[in-house]
Amino acid sequence: MTDKPAPLFDTLVIIGPGLIGSSILRRAHADRRIARRLVACDISPAVRARVAELGIADAVEADPVAAVRDADCVIICVPVGAIAMVAAQVLPAMKKGAILSEVGSVKVTVMEAMAPLLSAYPDIAFVPAHPMAGTEFSGPDAGFATLFEDRWCLLTPPVGTPAPALACVTTLWEMMGARVRDMTVEHHDRVCAIVSHLPHLLAFTICGTADDLADETRSEVLDFAASGFRDFTRIAASDPTMWRDIFLNNREALLDMLDRFIADAQAMGQAIRTGNEDVIVSRIQRGRAIRRSLIENRQA
Ligand code: NAP
């Protein structure tokens, strides 16, 4: 009889078991090769009670310091604006050689806030990650074990990250079903500004524009919402705190993408105004080609 291989981590701690955190827990709970012991920690008593009820963690803690004491890996899954604050609470309590990670949707400002904290704890490896997966829902009930299946997870390890820690976090995300790629924090924020943050900005804005229309028109928008508008409303249903933090923290890259978008939208408007069929058709064809390549890459 052969011994079972040791799990990737003995103790894995998730701080903020909402959509992303509870999806990690669900996957790790279903696949015990990931961690022997799963600990969840949240500031909200209602979230803690729900996570305990769902049975997706072996222990549920209110106190982050108590939660991380035996951890081999701690993943902070709270809104971007709270990540460094949580890190400041847990770093002094973590054991030497442990890994600290987070899943925030913005990386440059998080890294700037983390750098002075991390310099006091050279024995903790910091490996930020961003799973490019999500829904418009929040909280522990929104999570599911297959959320990361076939999705990309972008890692932004600081220069000098120990190779074994990076390998562990890479393996973790592969075991979550994701495909993993490393990049710099700056590149990450520019990529996410165009593929995620600008589309959310547009969705929130178009819903606001529709809502600002006269009463009778508004009721028609809602009554006759066709697929285009409906798809925007799904994105616009996302959590306000999370998106406030993302917009404010990725300000430069997002505003740059917004400027480019406005210029391109104005060019499209001009083509419509002047009846420039070639420009209109080529834009639509590019959009269709992008959709086809997403389907081929199984990202649709
Ligand atoms: P979520 O469902 O709202 O979960 C966040 C959880 O963190 C909530 O239970 C929240 O409690 C808790 N929390 C907030 N501040 C805390 C603190 N100081 N200490 C402990 N717990 C705290 O959010 P999510 O969608 O999973 O997003 C979490 C992170 O993942 C964010 O940084 C986001 O940018 C990133 N992300 C999100 C997506 C997505 O599509 N949703 C995708 C990739 C990455 P309360 O409810 O009481 O505030």
pTM of the model: 0.93
Within-domain flag for 1: no
Query: Mean pLDDT for the chain?
Result: 94
Q: Are 214 and 193 part of one and the same domain?
A: yes
Burial of 89 (0-12, 13-18, 19+ CB in 10 A): middle
Least confident of 20-29, 213-222, 233-242, 289-298: 213-222
Ligand 1 atom index nearest CA of 105 = 34
Q: Are 284 and 204 part of one and the same domain?
A: yes
Q: Are 208 and 122 part of one and the same domain?
A: no
Edge-to-edge order in the sheet of strand 152-155: 129-131, 152-155, 179-182
State whether the beta carbon of 18 lies less than 6 angstroms from ligand 1: yes
- The per-residue pLDDT for range 139-191, each reduced to its tens digit, is 999 999 999 999 999 999 999 999 999 999 999 999 999 999 999 999 999 99
State whether the beta carbon of 73 lies less than 6 angstroms from ligand 1: no
- The per-residue pLDDT for range 4-58, each reduced to its tens digit, is 889 999 999 999 999 999 999 999 999 999 999 999 999 999 999 999 999 999 9
pLDDT at 250 over 80: yes
71 touches 45 (CB < 8 A): no
Ligand 1 atom index nearest CA of 131 = 43
Please tell me the distance between residue 227's alpha carbon and the centre of ligand 1 in angstroms: 29
Within-domain flag for 266: yes
Within-domain flag for 2: no
pLDDT at 3 over 90: no
For residue 234, how many other CB atoms are within 10 A of its CB?
A: 11
Q: Are 16 and 42 part of one and the same domain?
A: yes
What is the domain-level CATH number for residue 58? 3.40.50.720
Query: Ligand 1: which of 77, 106, 176, 246 to mutate, judged by most atoms within 8 Å of the beta carbon?
Result: 77
Q: Give me the pLDDT at residue 8, please.
A: 98
* Residue at a domain's end among 139, 165, 183: 183
Within-domain flag for 207: yes
Within-domain flag for 172: yes
What is the domain-level CATH number for residue 250? 1.10.3660.10
Please tell me the distance between residue 209's alpha carbon and the centre of ligand 1 in angstroms: 28
Backbone torsion region of residue 167, taken as left when φ is above 0, otherwise alpha when ψ lies between -120 and 50, otherwise beta: alpha
pLDDT at 1 over 60: no
Number of domains composing the chain: 2
Burial of 221 (0-12, 13-18, 19+ CB in 10 A): middle
State whether the beta carbon of 79 lies less than 6 angstroms from ligand 1: yes
Q: Give me the pLDDT at residue 214, please.
A: 58
- The per-residue pLDDT for range 214-230, each reduced to its tens digit, is 566 767 777 777 777 88
Within-domain flag for 249: yes
Ligand 1 atom index nearest CA of 238 = 41
Query: Ligand 1: which of 13, 15, 20 to mutate, judged by most atoms within 8 Å of the beta carbon?
Result: 20
Within-domain flag for 214: yes
Q: How far apart are CA 99 and CA 111, in angstroms?
A: 15
Q: Give me the pLDDT at residue 216, please.
A: 67
- Structure-token match 């009463």, residue found: 215
Please tell me the distance between residue 19's alpha carbon and the centre of ligand 1 in angstroms: 7
Within-domain flag for 4: no
Q: Give me the pLDDT at residue 218, please.
A: 66
State whether the beta carbon of 78 lies less than 6 angstroms from ligand 1: yes
Q: 113 is written with which tokens?
A: 């806030």
State whether the beta carbon of 88 lies less than 6 angstroms from ligand 1: no
Q: Are 173 and 273 part of one and the same domain?
A: no
Atom 33 of ligand 1, nearest CA residue: 104
Q: Are 179 and 220 part of one and the same domain?
A: no
Please tell me the distance between residue 242's alpha carbon and the centre of ligand 1 in angstroms: 7
Q: How far apart are CA 184 and CA 188, in angstroms?
A: 6
Atom 1 of ligand 1, nearest CA residue: 18
- The per-residue pLDDT for range 101-129, each reduced to its tens digit, is 999 999 999 999 999 999 999 999 999 99
Residue numbers of the domain that contains 163: 9-183
* Residue at a domain's end among 155, 183, 211: 183
* Residue at a domain's end among 183, 217, 244: 183
Q: How far apart are CA 198 and CA 182, in angstroms?
A: 22
